Amino acid sequence: MIFHGFDKYREQGLLILRIGIGTMFICHGVPKLLGGPETWIKLGGALSAVGVNFAPTFMGFMAAISESGGGLLLILGLLTRPACFLLLGTMTVATTMHLKQGDPFMVYSHALEAAILFFALLFIGPGKLSLDEKLFQWRRSKGQSPEGESLKQAADE
């Protein structure tokens, strides 16, 4: 196949993906963060779509932190899976809110696509060109692969 030559650039591809998506989420999150309590109340109100009706200001603030801070963590490849988990939750709530409001597909598709992306990144991880890889190499040196299985067990298979 013509594109098989790109296989050797998997790690660079993951880096490009993390930088691109992380940058976009910082661009989405920082204005929400700087919007202050008025913006946070509106964001937190989206949780009513999933039955959470308390502390909308705090919840909205946390959603803005999730987008902006999660974007930064993605770029760095630091705590990537926890960041993706929080971003997945934020995008799931956003998708649910749009669906409950009866919004058309073109309105909720961004949140749904982002949720799918973050769900996939939970499995894929940040790749080798990440701070996670550099800072948490000790896990492998103690006999654990990046996937969490014992290196001895993986070798036996």
User: What is the distance between the alpha carbons of residues 37 and 46, in angstroms, rounded to a whole number?
Assistant: 14
pTM: 0.83
User: What is the distance between the alpha carbons of residues 83 and 88, in angstroms, rounded to a whole number?
Assistant: 8
The amino acid that residue 148 corresponds to is G
Interval 13-59: pLDDT, tens = 999 999 999 999 999 999 999 999 999 999 998 888 888 888 999 99
Interval 110-123: pLDDT, tens = 999 999 999 999 99
The domain segmentation of the chain, as residue ranges, is 4-156
